[in-house]
Amino acid sequence: MCGLNERPIISPLSNPTSRASAALGRPSSEWSKGKVLFASGSPFAPIHDEAGVVHHPAQANNAYIFPAVGFAAIPTQSREITDEMFVLAAGAPRQTASAVASGVVFWYLSGIRAARGCWLAA
């Protein structure tokens, strides 16, 4: 993976958490030397590698799309949600530069309301 991609993406979307492949986060961080962007269907705690660097496994969850659609549709009084709207929303800023540099893929669910301004702007 690292031979083909500067920052490979590994995204096992197993749910519920009791069925999740928790072991994938640490090994993927190890073989990629911290370059992997890891997002799972379940939440996982940050991973500390051998050098002491903290990696943040993301949770790829449909909870991210529903607030964005609602926050955008209501104030714009949209009568429909088109594919083009989803494409535009996909290009909206999703994270700070420092978070991206540290491998954070998605906003933390605890900060989802803070992200709505980015979605409305899109």
Q: pTM score, two decimals?
A: 0.55
Which among 19, 49, 1, 93 is positioned nearest to 10, based on CA atoms? 1
Cβ-contact 86, 116 below 8 angstroms: no
Instruction: Quick: pLDDT tens for 24-70.
Output: 556 666 777 777 888 887 777 888 877 788 887 887 776 666 666 77
Residues 61, 65, 66, 72: what is their CA dihedral angle, to the nearest 10 degrees?
160
Per domain, the residue ranges of the chain are 1-60, 61-95+108-122
Q: CA Rg, the chain, in Å? A: 16
